[in-house]
C-alpha cells in the first residue's frame, strides 16, 4: 500500500492548512458592519456624489461608522431611499428636498450672437479660454456639452434650435455634477416644486444685453414691480427669484418683455412620477 | 567566500536570471498591473514579501517532510497548496493587525496566490541545491528583480501611451513588443555579475 503514504501526507498538509486558515479567520477575522451592504443596496448606485461623499459606497460607510447620521442626503434617491436607510440605521429620515438643474441661458443659434467661428476642441472649457467663448455674451451657454459628458443619467441634450444645453427634468436626478462642470457657472439647482426660472445669467447692462442677445434679461424691473409677494428682484442687472417667497403664480412671466422668465410644467421632476 | 556567494545569488536573481524578463515567469501580473507606476511598485513589493514567506515555509517542508518520506514528486502540488494557504493566512493577519499595509497591498495579495513566479522561485531554490540562507537570498533577489522589471516597464508603458502607435498594434501587441525589447536589453547582463565578483 505505498500509495497510502502520499495520500496521508498530502491530506495531512491540506488539513493543517485548513485548520490554520479556519482558526485564523475565527480569531483574527475583522468583522465588517453588515449594514454597509444593506444601506448600499438601497442607494441608487449612480455614484454622483450629491451626498458629499465619494459615491454610494462612501455614503454607506459614512452612515455606518458614524461620520454622518443624516439618512436624507441622497438627492437622487429622494424620500423613499431616505426612509429605507432610516429603517436600517434606526434613524429618522428628514424630508429630502429634491432638486432639478436648469440652464440659465436663453440664447439662440442666430449668427449675430457669435463673435467668431470656433474650430477648436469641442469642449466648453476649451472654447471658454478663447475670449470667453464664441458668443458675444460672456454669460452664455457655450453649447459644447461639457455638462452632457458628466451627467450620469443622460438627462442633458443640446437643443438644436437654440444651440444651448437643455436639461430634461424628467430624467434629472439633481446631483449637481453639471453645475460643477459648467465653466460659466450658469447651471443652477432649484427645488423641483418651483415653477418659475429666470433663463439668463447676464450681469451686463440692458443696452449691452440687447446688443448681444435676442432674449436676455435687460434688468427692466417689470417683474419686480408686478410680483405680488416681493419674491423677484433685479440685482446687478439680473432678475433673481427668491424661492422662499415665490408662490409660482407666473405673473412675472406674463410681463417679461424679452420672455426670459420661463413658467410652466417644464421643471416638474422625475420624482413626481 | 560564503558572503560573496550570497551577493552573487542575490544579484543574479535581480539581473541575470530576472524571472519576468529572462525566465518568462509571472508574465500575467507583469502585463496586467504595469500600467501605472504606483500600482506596479505596490505589486512588486507584495511579490517580494510573499516570495520570502513562501520560501521560508516551503524549504523546510521539502527538506523535512517530503524528502524523508520519498515524496519528492509531490513537490509541485504541495507547494501550490501551501503557498495558497499561506497567502490567505498572511492576508487575514495583515487585515487584522496592520490595516495600513493591508490597504496599500490591497488587491495584489490575493492575485499573487497562484502566481507562477512565486511557485517557480520556491521550486528552483530546491532544484539549484541551495541551503536555507541561500534560498532566502535567492527569493529576495528574484523579488527585487520582479520589482525592477515592473517599475521599468511601467515607465516604458507610460511613454507608449503618450506616443500614439498604429491602430493595428495598439494595446496588447505594442506592449508585448516593448516587453520583448526590454527582455533583450536584460540579456546584456549575462556573465557580468559572475565576472564582477569572481564567482562562477
Each of the 273 residues of chain A gets a pLDDT tens digit; together they read 788 888 988 899 899 999 988 988 888 777 767 788 888 888 887 777 778 787 888 888 888 887 787 888 887 777 778 888 888 887 777 767 778 888 898 888 888 788 888 888 888 988 888 888 888 888 889 888 889 988 888 889 998 888 889 888 888 888 888 988 899 899 988 887 788 888 889 888 888 888 888 888 888 888 888 888 888 888 888 988 888 888 888 888 889 888 888 886 555 444 433
Does B98 contact A at CB distance below 8 Å? no
Are A267 and A169 in contact by the 8 Å Cβ rule? The answer is yes
- In chain A, which residue's Cα lies nearest the Cα of B97? A28
Q: Taking Cα atoms as reference points, which of A183, A199, A120 lies closest to residue A150?
A: A183
Partners of A25 on chain B (C-beta within 8 Å) are: 92
CATH level 3 topology of A34-89: 3-methyladenine DNA Glycosylase II; Chain A, domain 3 (1.10.15)
- Is B164 a residue whose pLDDT tops 60? yes
The shortest CB-CB distance from A6 to any of B71, B89, B97 is to B71
Give the helix ranges, DSSP H, for A112-238.
124-129, 146-150, 177-181, 206-212, 222-226
> Crossing angle of helices B75-97/B37-61, nearest 10°?
120
DSSP H or E segment with residue A216: none
Q: What is the C-alpha to C-alpha distance for residues B112 and B107, in angstroms, rounded to an integer?
A: 9
> Crossing angle of helices B37-61/B116-127, nearest 10°?
40
Q: What is the C-alpha to C-alpha distance for residues B21 and B27, in angstroms, rounded to an integer?
A: 9
pLDDT average, residue stretch B84-88: 88
Gap from A15 CA to chain B (nearest CA, Å): 11
- In chain B, which residue's Cα lies nearest the Cα of A17? B85
Residue B115 falls in which region: left (phi positive, over 0), alpha (psi -120 to 50) or beta: beta
Partners of A21 on chain B (C-beta within 8 Å) are: 85, 88-89, 92
According to the CATH classification, is domain A99-263 in 3.30.70.20? yes
The shortest CB-CB distance from A21 to any of B74, B88, B97 is to B88
What Rg, from alpha-carbon coordinates, does chain A have?
27
Backbone angles phi, psi at A238, to 5 degrees: -140, 130
Gap from B50 CA to chain A (nearest CA, Å): 17
Q: What is the C-alpha to C-alpha distance for residues A49 and A146, in angstroms, rounded to an integer?
A: 18
Backbone angles phi, psi at A262, to 5 degrees: -95, 140
Domain limits, CATH 1.10.15.40, in chain A: 34-89
Partners of B89 on chain A (C-beta within 8 Å) are: 20-21, 24
Does B192 contact A at CB distance below 8 Å? no
What lies within 8 Å, CB to CB, of A180 at 6+ separation is A150
Domain limits, CATH 3.30.70.20, in chain A: 99-263
Amino acid at each position: 500500500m505505498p500509495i497510502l503514504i502520499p495520500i496521508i501526507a498530502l491530506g495531512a498538509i491540506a488539513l493543517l492548512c485548513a485548520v490554520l486558515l479556519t482558526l485564523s479567520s475565527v480569531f483574527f477575522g475583522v468583522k465588517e458592519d453588515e449594514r454597509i451592504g444593506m444601506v448600499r443596496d438601497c442607494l441608487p448606485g449612480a455614484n454622483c456624489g450629491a451626498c458629499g461623499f465619494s459615491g454610494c459606497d462612501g455614503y454607506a460607510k459614512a452612515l455606518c461608522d458614524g461620520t454622518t447620521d443624516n439618512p436624507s442626503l441622497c438627492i437622487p434617491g429622494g424620500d423613499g431611499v431616505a426612509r429605507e436607510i432610516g429603517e436600517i440605521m434606526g434613524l429618522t429620515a428628514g424630508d429630502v428636498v429634491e432638486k432639478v438643474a436648469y440652464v440659465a441661458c436663453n440664447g439662440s443659434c442666430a449668427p449675430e450672437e457669435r463673435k467668431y467661428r470656433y474650430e477648436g476642441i469641442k469642449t466648453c472649457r476649451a472654447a471658454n479660454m478663447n475670449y470667453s467663448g464664441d458668443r458675444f455674451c460672456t454669460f452664455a451657454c457655450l453649447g459644447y456639452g461639457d455638462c452632457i459628458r458628466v451627467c450620469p443619467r443622460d438627462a442633458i441634450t443640446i437643443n438644436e434650435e437654440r444651440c444651448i444645453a437643455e436639461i430634461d427634468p424628467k430624467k434629472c436626478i439633481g446631483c449637481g455634477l453639471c453645475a460643477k462642470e459648467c465653466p460659466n457657472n450658469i447651471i443652477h439647482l432649484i427645488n423641483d416644486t418651483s415653477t418659475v426660472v429666470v433663463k439668463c445669467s447676464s450681469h451686463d447692462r440692458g443696452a449691452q444685453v440687447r446688443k448681444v442677445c435676442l432674449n436676455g434679461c435687460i434688468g427692466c424691473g417689470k417683474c419686480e414691480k408686478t410680483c405680488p409677494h416681493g419674491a423677484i428682484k433685479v440685482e446687478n442687472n439680473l432678475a433673481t427669484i427668491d424661492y422662499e417667497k415665490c408662490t409660482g403664480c407666473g405673473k412675472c412671466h406674463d410681463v417679461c418683455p424679452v420672455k426670459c422668465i420661463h413658467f410652466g410644467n417644464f421643471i416638474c421632476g422625475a420624482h413626481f412620477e | 567566500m560564503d558572503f560573496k556567494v550570497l551577493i552573487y545569488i542575490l544579484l543574479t536573481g535581480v539581473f541575470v536570471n530576472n524571472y519576468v524578463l529572462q525566465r518568462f515567469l509571472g508574465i500575467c501580473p507583469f502585463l496586467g498591473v504595469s500600467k501605472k507606476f504606483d500600482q506596479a511598485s505596490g505589486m512588486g513589493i507584495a511579490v517580494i514579501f510573499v516570495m520570502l514567506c513562501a520560501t521560508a515555509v516551503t524549504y523546510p517542508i521539502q527538506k523535512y517532510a517530503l524528502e524523508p518520506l520519498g515524496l519528492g514528486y509531490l513537490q509541485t502540488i504541495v507547494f501550490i497548496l501551501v503557498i495558497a494557504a499561506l497567502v490567505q493566512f498572511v492576508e487575514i493577519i495583515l487585515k487584522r493587525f496592520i490595516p495600513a499595509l493591508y490597504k496599500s497591498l490591497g488587491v495584489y495579495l490575493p492575485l499573487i496566490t497562484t502566481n507562477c513566479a512565486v511557485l517557480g522561485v520556491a521550486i528552483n531554490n530546491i532544484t539549484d541545491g541551495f541551503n536555507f540562507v541561500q534560498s532566502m537570498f535567492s527569493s529576495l533577489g528574484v523579488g527585487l528583480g520582479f520589482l525592477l522589471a515592473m517599475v521599468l516597464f511601467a515607465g516604458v508603458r507610460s511613454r507608449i501611451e503618450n506616443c500614439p502607435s498604429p491602430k493595428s498594434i495598439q494595446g496588447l501587441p505594442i506592449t508585448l513588443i516593448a516587453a520583448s525589447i526590454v527582455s533583450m536589453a536584460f540579456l546584456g547582463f549575462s556573465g557580468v555579475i559572475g565576472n564582477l565578483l569572481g564567482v562562477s
